[in-house]
Amino acid sequence: MHEKRNVLRGVWGLLLWPYILTVSMPLDCKEEPGSLTRCPSISQEKLLDRVIHHAELIYRVSEESCSLFEEMFIPLPLRLQSNQAGFACITKTLPIPSSKSEIEQISDKWLLHSVLMLVQSWIEPLVYLQTTLDRYDHAPEMLVNKTKWVSEKLVSLEQGVVALIKKMLDEGTFTTTYNEQGLFQYDTLPDMLESVMRDYTLLSCFKKDAHKMETFLKLLKCRQADKFNCA
């Protein structure tokens, strides 16, 4: 009896195996954090690693861009005082913890959501930054390229974080509401220096936030493993 059943299952499996394959596996399963489709083939750890890697890269490039911009356009006395112009970081209003003790207390979910918030907040301003750089007389090509690159990577990072959220928190996709708040204003300032300072502030803030993202994700990673693989 059992044998017959098994044999029958086997036969069905043989007959239907192409169908099964196509159903179970998405055709175009890219193992990237930017992929929206759920790829069962990639593990959570791997996905998280890739997301972290993305974040690291973004931070490094943003740091380089900021230094470049500072060298080119910011006069020396103003360099150490990024706040002098009075421009606050656009993400200041976001409820993101900024001390270690606080961060240690928030849950994984909040960490992820914080990251997502940050990422989504910065997509638009970076696009704006690309356009503003064209107005500069001698914007070095490297700076322009880096800014462009970062902008692209940020989008991928967003996708990755979304996928991670899905994986880790088993939440469905949800549209972000943060961008709708319109954190960023596109005012064109009459004063050249002010405009420059604003752009500089923008870059600095982005650099900081990139670091935040990276740190959060790393914390998240080290929380996952029971083996304390971060020790």
Partner 1 sequence: MMTKVGEVLLLLLLPAFVPHTDGTHYSLPGKPTDIKCRSPEKETFTCWWKPGSDGGLPTTYALYYRKEGSDVVHECPDYHTAGKNSCFFNKNDTLIWVSYNITVVATNALGKTYSDPLDVDVVYIVKPHPPEKLEVTVMKDQGWPFLRVSWEPPRKADTRSGWITLIYELRVKLEDEESEWENHAAGQQKMFNIFSLRSGGTYLIQVRCKPDHGFWSEWSSTSYVKVPEYLHRGKSVWILVLVFSAFILLLLTWLIQMNSHSLKHCMLPPVPGPKIKGFDKQLLKSGKSDEVFSALVVSDFPPTTSNYEDLLVEYLEVYMPEQQELMVDKGKDHDGCLKSIGSASDSDSGRGSCDSDNLLMDKSGAPKEEQQQQNQEGDQIGKETQGPKEAWEKEAMPCANEDVVSPDASSEKVKTWPSVFSPVTPYSPLDPHNSLEMHKQHCLSNTQFPPGSPSSDHYIKEALQSSYWEVCFNNNQPYPQTEVHPQLQAHSDRNISAVNDRNAPTGLLLPTQMTEYVEVQRVNEENKVLLHPIPSGHSREKACPWVGQRDDYSKVKGVDSDNGLLLQREVVEEESMEMAGAAESCYTSSIAFTTPKQTACSPVALPVQDERVLAVSGYVDTATVFSLHT
For binding to partner 1 (CB under 8 A), which residues are involved?
A: 56, 59, 63, 80-83, 88, 92, 98-101, 104, 208-209, 211-212, 215, 218-223, 228, 230-231
Q: How many residues does the chain have?
A: 231
Nearer to partner 1, 39 or 202 (CB): 202
* Least Cβ distance, residue 80 to partner 1 (angstroms): 5
* Least Cβ distance, residue 103 to partner 1 (angstroms): 8
Nearer to partner 1, 104 or 194 (CB): 104
By the 8 A CB rule, do 186 and 125 touch? no
By the 8 A CB rule, do 120 and 179 touch? yes
Q: What is the 3-state secondary structure (H, E, C) of 48-115?
A: HHHHHHHHHHHHHHHHHHHHHHHHHHCCHHHCCCCCCCCCCCHHHHCCCCCCHHHHHHCCHHHHHHHH
How far, in Å, CA of 125 to CA of 204, rounded? 12
* Least Cβ distance, residue 21 to partner 1 (angstroms): 38
Token couple for 142: 């490297």
Nearer to partner 1, 23 or 80 (CB): 80
By the 8 A CB rule, do 57 and 153 touch? yes
Nearer to partner 1, 37 or 83 (CB): 83
Nearer to partner 1, 114 or 156 (CB): 114
* Least Cβ distance, residue 130 to partner 1 (angstroms): 24
Nearer to partner 1, 101 or 175 (CB): 101
* Least Cβ distance, residue 52 to partner 1 (angstroms): 9
Q: Which amino acid, residue 104?
A: E
* Least Cβ distance, residue 123 to partner 1 (angstroms): 20
Closest C-alpha to 194, from 66, 108, 105, 74: 74
Q: For 182, left (φ over 0), alpha (ψ -120 to 50), or beta?
A: left
Token couple for 63: 């740091």
